[in-house]
Structure 1
């Protein structure tokens, strides 16, 4: 079985289409979507239409929850833009998405961790920035789930870690936004360093699960122009460079 794991599309339709094409050409048996699907200054409605038609196994991320649970005037800029662009049927689709999903007996899909859609799984934020989580930290965050493969997103960084008990945790990176800054729980930056759209192919063999990370070219300059026209110079920089 070969799973193409996508996450953090953030309304970047061109990046999504490039990743879907790459995943199909590389023989994916199943394509899954780990949340944070639409929020951002690009093409939230068009991205929703593309994904609704495909019917991929999909979960909510923190941005889907935020889109549904707040007064638009109190939303962040990315959620507010998406909320203003989405139709009622698209919001209804988001509302029906689960927050986690078992793809098979041994595969668990979450956005952050099994406990929280805001928690970083394979990274730890400190007063010096963000570092790779220790195996002990990742193991605590995995909890007692019996899934052999845990797919997560949220941090936009491609990373995997195999725990001592054999469980494999995979973050496929972000399809649509290769860098961002955040102030919570402490100020930090998440940067992939190039503007490619990213995902992961995870393959099951007799020996267990193995991961291959993919970086795909698309017209990121055009995406950056759209972000700039929509008043987001921070996104323009991230989309062009992979840095904040």
Structure 2
């Protein structure tokens, strides 16, 4: 029986990755595919890159992987003022760590889309978001018409995406779309590390989303011990808050400050923390 382990959205969370790789070995996966967003947000980007490269994994490019080179190179695609905004200091910290380790070049080698060919098996196409764009996520907000279009254009029997940090499965006739969920920062209110295992049974792929407990306190400490929390500004603090909540706090904060026409600063965060977070049933980590 062929087994494919497809992991994504590690986001520099080494304790979560360690637990998932142990589970991948436990289930006897034949191939490991890393579907983008290995780095940024979390404190252990260099370590997780080194670990995954040593595994001989296949990679696709995620938007956060690409962002690290764009940020490091001060690419005009990014608003100039962001490079000087303390809110985004975590991006600079992560990009600088990867640059010092000589790892930024790795991302330039990763394809946007990967086709998995297994003799006698239905075709599997893997992309961080979709084959059209790494920021387009497969999920409940995507229309059935769009799902069908993606399946047709990619000529996939099974289309695998990530990016949203929320796992899921959608069937269209005999074809299947799957979201892997996230290893390092799930957004489905379940803080366990999550990934996709595909088992070939006969001539069909059988999907399973694996939920893997890990030492959350270890990665929370790593934010402090690595220097990311002290040098990464408000965004680093929010990324850390997201892990135990397993909820997209960064996105909700961004939406709130834009709606209130507020700066993305600590004063706005304290108000958001006091007024808005409880509306989502969330309590700050501190």
TM-score category (smaller protein): 0.7 to 0.9
Q: Is 1:7–2:8 an aligned residue pair?
A: yes
Uncovered stretches (5+) of structure 1, i.e. residues with no partner: 125-132, 179-190
Uncovered stretches (5+) of structure 2, i.e. residues with no partner: 75-79, 230-235, 250-286
Does the Cα contact within 8 Å between 2:162 and 2:179 map onto a contact in 1? yes
* Deviates further, 136-145 or 210-219: 136-145
Does the Cα contact within 8 Å between 1:9 and 1:176 map onto a contact in 2? yes
Map residues 1-244 of structure 1 onto 2, 5 A cutoff: 1-70=2-71, 71=73, 74=82, 76-86=88-98, 87=100, 89-104=102-117, 106-124=123-141, 133-164=142-173, 166-178=174-186, 191-227=187-223, 230-231=228-229, 232-243=236-247, 244=249
Does the Cα contact within 8 Å between 2:161 and 2:179 map onto a contact in 1? yes
* Deviates further, 196-205 or 101-110: 101-110
TM-score by length of 2: 0.72
* Deviates further, 35-44 or 83-92: 83-92
* Structure with the greater alpha carbon radius of gyration: 2
Deviation at 1:77, TM superposition (A): 4.6
Q: What is the alpha-carbon distance in structure 2 between the residues aligned to residue 60 and residue 135 of structure 1? A: 25
Deviation at 1:207, TM superposition (A): 4.5
Normalized per residue, which structure has more helix? 2
Does the Cα contact within 8 Å between 2:60 and 2:128 map onto a contact in 1? yes
Shift >6 Å, 4+ stretches: none
The equivalent of 1:129 in structure 2 is none
Q: What is the alpha-carbon distance in structure 1 between the residues aligned to residue 38 and residue 3 of structure 2? A: 22
Deviation at 1:153, TM superposition (A): 0.8
Normalized per residue, which structure has more strand? 1
Question: CA RMSD, aligned part only?
Answer: 2.0
Any idea what the Cα deviations from partners look like across 1:162-205, whole Å, max 9, x if unmatched? 112x2211111100012xxxxxxxxxxxx311211111111122
Distance change >3 Å, CA 79–CA 107, structure 1 → 2: farther
